[in-house]
Homo-oligomer: A and B are copies of this chain.
């Protein structure tokens, strides 16, 4: 499914969270699709199940997946009501990054075209 980077200084569970989030966001994992069980994932990454457990629990708290005991874990279907706080955080992060890029004299057109590209790719998927 993906690989870990042991040179990365962040905790393993952070990497796992990031990779899974990316799969969900990019649409590789569809809403309500089952994600690998804690043990399956632990085996395929050859790390301890507790580390996966922690990553999954965090993702559940953040609203990306949900767990059903004795059934497995699944991708949360997107819901506009959820994660308003998260949206605010993302906006603040974007502001900081954009300020830094502006300071470096990156032309804003470059940024905007990048955004257009990401959004139009997403539109393309919807049509599928």
Contacts and interface: CB of A to CB of B under 8 A. Distances in A.
Given A6-B68, A7-B66, A69-B9, A78 B104 contact: yes
Nearest to A83: B104
A115 B108 contact: yes
Interface of chain A: mostly helix, strand, loop or mixed: helix
Contacts of A22: 96, 99
B94 A90 contact: no
Interface of A: 6-7, 9, 11, 21-22, 24-26, 66-69, 71, 78, 80, 83, 86-87, 90-91, 93-106, 108, 111-112, 114-116, 118-119, 122
9 contacts: A6-B68, A25-B100, A25-B103, A94-B98, A98-B114, A99-B122, A108-B115, A108-B116, A111-B115
